[in-house]
Each structure stands twice: as C-alpha cells, then as structure tokens.
Amino acid sequence: MRYPVRKAAHIFERVGLAVAGAACGLFVGADVGSAIPQLTTQGFLLLMMLLGGIGFYLGIDTPQMPFDDAHSHIDAAEFLSAAGTLFATVTAFVSVAVIVLRLEPHMSLSWLTLFAWIAGVAMQIIAGAKARMRKV
C-alpha cells in the first residue's frame, strides 16, 4: 500500500521541480528578452520555460551511483547536475533581481545571462540523461 503513495509523492516532486524550472526560465526569458529586442517573442519565452522545465525535471533528482569501492570515482552525472542547478538558479536569481529592481544592465550581462542559463539547463539535461542510462 505504501508503494502507490510513494510513487505519487515522487511524481508530485518531479512535477514541482519542472514547474520551478519553467518559472526560472520565464524570469530569464523576460529579463533577456527585454534587453535584446530580437528575443522579445512569445516563442523565446516558451523555449526558455521548456528548457527550464526539462532541465529541472531531469537534472535535479538524478539516481545516484552506489557508494562502494567499485564506484569510488567522481560521479559525472551528479557533478553536472549540481553545477547545472547552481548555474541555472543563480542566473534566474540575477534575472529576478534585474526585473524587480528595474535595473538596466549592459547588453553583455544580458548575453551572459542567456548563455549561463542555457549552459546550466544543458548540464542538468545531460546529467539526468546520463544518470538514467548508466548500468549500476
């Protein structure tokens, strides 16, 4: 009886992470899109939200390798997941700060924000895929 409840809790958690990633993508998209006129489109916002949702869904809750002598090396998926989550969330935080404080940063910061976001969610997606494909 506990298994269905546990499975439902895991699904709720993963959907919640995906929604948080999509929200972060929305903030980054709004910040970058407002500074770079070519990116002021609904499609760009949807793409940023989709990348965030997929990245946070796959990358934050990666299956860990067993901890024993045979697996004593660095877990690349775990490291990529952690680094990607840090990149993506710091980028989202900076975007929210720019929006809320009504700052007008230099164009180079907007491009840096865009590339840091893409790098972060790409690391999360790769980490999630790698962790799910490995044989334990």
Mean pLDDT of the 84-91 span? 95
* pLDDT tens string 52-82: 999 999 888 777 776 665 666 778 888 899 9
Mean pLDDT of the 83-108 span? 94
- Which residues are CB-neighbours of 54 under 8 A, at least 6 positions away? 18, 21, 121, 125
Residue ranges of E strands in 76-132: none
Mean confidence (pLDDT) of the chain:
89
* pLDDT tens string 108-131: 999 999 999 999 999 999 998 888
Above 80 in pLDDT, residue 47? yes
Structure confidence at residue 34 as a pLDDT band (50, 70, 90): very high
CA–CA separation, 120 vs 124, rounded Å?
Answer: 6
Per-residue HEC secondary structure of 54-110 comes to HHHHHHCCCCCCCCCHHHCCCCHHHHHHHHHHHHHHHHHHHHHHHHHCCCCCCHHHH
CA–CA separation, 111 vs 91, rounded Å?
Answer: 11
Above 60 in pLDDT, residue 136? no
CA–CA separation, 45 vs 90, rounded Å?
Answer: 18
Above 60 in pLDDT, residue 1? no
**By C-alpha distance, which of 111, 131, 134 is closest to 123?**
131
